Amino acid sequence: MRTTGRNLREAAIKAFFFACGIAAVLVLVGVFLTLVATAIPAFREIKIGEFLTKTAWDPTSPEKLEYGILSMLVSTLLVTGGALLLAVPIGIGVAAYLSDVAHWRAREVLKPVVEVLAAIPSVVIGFLGLVLVGPLLAKIFHTGNGLNALNGSLLLAVMALPTIISISEDSLSAVPKAYNEASLALGASRWQTLVRVKLPAGLSGIIAAVMLGLGRAIGETMTVLMATGNARAFPHGLLSSVRTMTAGIAIELGEVPYYTTHYYALFAIGLVLFIMTFAVNLIADIVLHKYQERER
């Protein structure tokens, strides 16, 4: 009697977790299908080639309606790329410091502080970009204003840092002590041990950290909406005002008349964004697997 009760419970728990797992897959598939279904009608009126390669976007123009997303696409890549360029070296550096160099007391204080950074709402960071980082950049580069891609990159770097630091540090700390001790015993310096032994050993976690940071940066909306100026022109560099794909959707989805080409086109942007993040995750996964196979 007792065993059947137990078995029943086991089965129920199993079913529950199975349902949870399936639900995640179903939600993903559902979101993807909804996106595809709502994006496809856009291409009844827009040529898909023009959608991806034209730089002009003006669906409410009184002159000629334009649906080209290339400027927004490049702007997104520019802002996100800039953010990673800043956040990855700093993030890994801080993680290495926390796991290897810092006194344990410093670590106990610093790690929670870094994690609290992640809790700052994006609208607050965007506001800082508007009133603090912007004027600073304007002074440094003599550009009149600092509402540009670089501003967005700086802010997104700050937002991606906690993820990158926290997960990288976990992965470095998880490297078995024996690796460390063996390396030091062979006469390697602490620097050599860190760079040649611990970083490669923790690489899978670090890559995961960078990808999660990238995911956060690419999809972030409010911060870039406030800090990058949202000009629709094709960007000439990090000092141009740019409008990212997320900002474009956020600006226009609130007022767009439903079930019009403009409405469908916004979902098409969302689909492109989804495919981009999906590709990022897929590549990360492949890299991780390759690396893990080599390690075995």
Partner 1 sequence: MKKIVIAAIAALALLGSLLPAMPAGKMIQVKGSDTMVNLVQILAEEYMGKTPGAAIAVLGGGSGTGITGLINQTCDIADHSREWKQKEIDQAWEKGVSPRQFVVAVDGLSIIVNEKNPIDQLTMAQVGALYRGEIKNWKTLGLYDKPVSLYGRQSNSGTYVFMQEHVLGNKNYSADMKEMNGNAQIIEGILQDEGAVGYVGVGYLYDENRRIRKGLKVLKISKEPNGRGFLPMDKAAVDSGDYPVSRPLYMSTNGKPKSDVDRFLRWTVGPEGQAVVEREGFFTIGEGKSKAENDKAFK
Residue with tokens 């998880």: 174
The yes or no reply on residue 276 touching partner 1 (CB under 8 A) is no
C-beta atoms surrounding 81 within 10 Å: 16
Nearer of residues 49 and 62 to partner 1, judged by Cβ: 62
Distances (CA, A) of 192 to 180, 183, 203, 205: 10, 9, 16, 20
Nearer to partner 1, 32 or 234 (CB): 234
Asked if residue 232 binds partner 1 (CB under 8 A), the reply is yes
Tell me, what DSSP letter sits at residue 42? G
Q: Nearer to partner 1 by C-beta: 227 or 268?
A: 227
Is residue 65 within the footprint of partner 1 (CB under 8 A)? Answer: no
Is residue 287 a contact residue for partner 1 (CB under 8 A)?
no
Q: Is 229 in the site for partner 1 (CB under 8 A)?
A: yes
Binding partner 1 (rule: CB under 8 A), the pick from 231, 239, 276, 287 is 231
By CB under 8 A, residue 243 contacts partner 1? yes
Q: How far is the CB of 257 from partner 1 (least distance, A)?
A: 6
Q: Which of 250, 243, 287, 289 is nearest to 270 (CA)?
A: 250
**Which is closer to partner 1, CB of 231 or CB of 280?**
231
Helices 104-117 & 149-173 angle (0-180, nearest 10): 140
* Nearest Cα to Cα of residue 197 among 119, 109, 276, 295: 295
Between residues 36 and 140, which has the closer beta carbon with respect to partner 1? 140
Distance CA 204, CA 181 (A): 21
Over 129-171, what HEC string results? HHHHHHHHHHHHHCCCCCCCHHHHHHHHHHHHHHHHHHHHHHH
| Interface with partner 1 (CB under 8 A), residue from 225, 238, 265, 268 | 225
AA letter at 9: R
Cβ-contact 111, 122 below 8 angstroms: no
Cβ-based nearer residue to partner 1, 68 or 91: 68
Binding of partner 1 by 61 (CB under 8 A): yes
- Residue number, 12 or 131, with CB nearest to partner 1: 131
User: Does 72 sit near partner 1 (CB under 8 A)?
Assistant: no
Told to check if 245 binds partner 1 by CB under 8 A, we report no
Q: Site size for partner 1, by CB under 8 A?
A: 34
- Binding string to partner 1 for residues 128 to 157, with x set by CB under 8 A, is what? --xx--xx--x-----xxxx----------
252 makes contact with partner 1 (CB under 8 A): yes
Residue 194 within binding range of partner 1, rule CB under 8 A: no
Task: Spell out the residues 6+ positions from residue 79 whose beta carbon is closer than 8 angstroms to its own.
Answer: 149, 152, 153, 156, 217, 224, 228, 242, 244
**Assigned token pair, 43:** 């291409």
Provide the binding-site residues for partner 1, judged by CB under 8 A. 56, 58-63, 71, 130-131, 134-135, 138, 144-147, 225-226, 229-234, 241, 243, 251-252, 254-258
